[in-house]
Structure 1
Amino acid sequence: MNLDPFYGAPDGFESAAPGTVLRTREVQLAVLTVLPVHVRSWQLLYRTTDLFGQPTVAVTTVAVPEGADTSHSRPLVSHQFFYDSTSPACAPSYVLQQGGGLPALEGIHSATEYLELAASISQGYAVNVPDYEGVHGHLAVAEEPGYMILDSVRAAESFAPLGLDGANTPVALWGYSGGGMGSGWAAEMQPGYAPELNIKGVALGAPVSDVESLLHVNGSMFASLIGVGIASLRNAYPKFAATTERYLT
Structure 2
Amino acid sequence: MLFSDRIERVCIGSALRALATLLVLGLGLAAAKAQDAFYAASPTELVGKPGTLIRATPIVPPSGAAAAYRILYRSVGVRREPIAVSGIIIVPQGLPPVGGWPVVAWAHPTTGVAQHCAPSLDPARYDHIAGLADFLARGYVVAASDYPGLGTPGFHPYLVGDSQGRAVLDAVRAAMTMPQVPASPRVVPWGYSQGGHAALFAGQIAKSYAPTLQIVGIAASAPPTELGSLIRADVGSIVGRVLSAYALWSWSNVYGLPITSAIDKRVVLIMPRIADTCTKSAHDKLRLVLADQLFQQNSLLSRDVTTTQPWRDLIEGNTPGITPPGVPVFLAQGASDKIVRPLITELYSDVLCSRRRAVRFIMIPGANHEAMGKAATRQAVAWIADRFNGLPPPSDCEAQ
TM-score (norm 2): 0.52
Partner deviation per Cα, 1:91-110 (whole Å, 9 max, x = no partner): 22112xxxx4xx6xxx8xx6
Partner deviation per Cα, 1:133-176 (whole Å, 9 max, x = no partner): 433332112411111111111101111111224xxx31111011
Is the strand fraction higher in 1 or 2? 1
1:69 aligns with 2:87: no
1:11 aligns with 2:43: yes
1:124 aligns with 2:139: yes
The corresponding residue for 2:239 is: 222
Contact 2:104 2:142 in 1 (8 A): yes
Alignment partner of 2:114 out of 87, 90, 96: 87
SS at match of 1:195: coil
Judged with a 3 Å threshold, the aligned counterparts in structure 2 of structure 1 residues 242 and 147 are, in CA distance, closer, same or farther, namely: farther
- Measure how far apart 1:221 and its partner are: 4.5
Partner deviation per Cα, 1:196-242 (whole Å, 9 max, x = no partner): 11111110222222322232123334232222222222221102546
Alignment partner of 2:187 out of 148, 171, 177: 171
Contact 1:177 1:207 in 2 (8 A): yes
The corresponding residue for 1:162 is: 181
Contact 1:146 1:186 in 2 (8 A): yes
1:49 aligns with 2:60: no
The structure with higher relative contact order (CA 8 Å, sep 6+) is: 1
Judged with a 3 Å threshold, the aligned counterparts in structure 2 of structure 1 residues 79 and 92 are, in CA distance, closer, same or farther, namely: same
- Measure how far apart 1:87 and its partner are: 2.1
Contact 2:186 2:215 in 1 (8 A): yes
The corresponding residue for 1:32 is: none
SS at match of 1:51: coil
Higher radius of gyration, 1 or 2:
2
Judged with a 3 Å threshold, the aligned counterparts in structure 2 of structure 1 residues 22 and 133 are, in CA distance, closer, same or farther, namely: closer
1:235 aligns with 2:253: yes
Alpha-carbon distance between aligned partners in 1 of 2:166 and 2:112, rounded to the nearest angstrom: 19
- The amino acid of 2:68's aligned partner reads S
Structure 2 unpaired stretches of 5+: 1-32, 267-400
Structure 1 unpaired stretches of 5+: 30-35
Judged with a 3 Å threshold, the aligned counterparts in structure 2 of structure 1 residues 243 and 2 are, in CA distance, closer, same or farther, namely: farther
Runs of 4+ in 1 over 4 A off after TM superposition: none
Aligned length: 226
1:28 aligns with 2:60: yes
SS at match of 1:23: strand
The corresponding residue for 2:14 is: none
Q: What are the residue-to-residue correspondences of 1:118-157 with 2, within 5 Å?
A: 118-134=133-149, 135=152, 136-157=155-176
Contact 1:176 1:207 in 2 (8 A): yes
Alpha-carbon distance between aligned partners in 1 of 2:258 and 2:173, rounded to the nearest angstrom: 32
- The amino acid of 1:54's aligned partner reads E
